[in-house]
Amino acid sequence: MKKQTQHNRQTMNLLFTMLLFLVFVLSALFTVLIGGKVYENINSRVEENYSGQVVLNYVANKVRQNDKADSIAVRDIEGTAVLELAQEINGISYVTWIYYMDGSVRELFTNAGSGLGLEDGLEIIDSQGLTFRREGDILEVQVADQTDTRLLLNIRSGGRTDEK
């Protein structure tokens, strides 16, 4: 009788140990699964934010480099809003077009009368959209993403022809 009671205790101890181990393994598994989901969410938000910020910083730097009188304009070309940055190099007029087309932000740098079109631009970065609007000395650049990030730039030259 005593031997059977001792055997039952050993069995109960073994079952309790196995159950405790199972709870530990399940807890570790759920922790890893939840952590993976959290990492995935954070990573997708960072990628979305990165893309929008890169586009805005890129456009801001281009505008700052070309902030001269009569060199910055927003044009409608083939139904697409295009930021046009004009410059003269060694007596030849060049334009840089920055615009959104077919899922990416594009840039086209060419001389003013080359005849190249929007489809000839180089893809800079994938994006969901990019719009430009200029009112006076203020250029508004808006990236179409989940947060609709926008940037307001003050054109310092103001488009005055007396400044160079």
**pLDDT, position 39:** 93
**pLDDT, position 163:** 42
Mean pLDDT over the full length of the chain = 86
**pLDDT, position 146:** 65
Q: Which amino acid is at 4?
A: Q
Q: pLDDT digits over 100-146, tens only? A: 999 899 999 999 888 888 989 999 988 888 899 999 888 999 888 76
Q: CB of 148 within 8 A of CB of 130?
A: no
Kindly report the number of other CB atoms within 10 A of residue 49's CB atom.
14
Place of tokens 């022809």: 161
User: Which of the two residues, 75 and 1, has the higher pLDDT score?
Assistant: 75
0.75 surpassed by pTM: no
Q: pLDDT digits over 85-104, tens only? A: 999 889 899 999 999 999 89
Place of tokens 């405790």: 20
Tokens of 132: 């430009």
Q: Is the pLDDT of residue 47 over 80?
A: no
Q: CB of 107 within 8 A of CB of 122?
A: yes
**pLDDT, position 161:** 46
65 Cβ neighbours under 8 A, 6+ residues apart: 85
What pLDDT band is residue 1 in, cutting at 50, 70 and 90? low
**pLDDT, position 162:** 46
**pLDDT, position 144:** 82
Calpha distance 125→4 (Å, rounded): 75
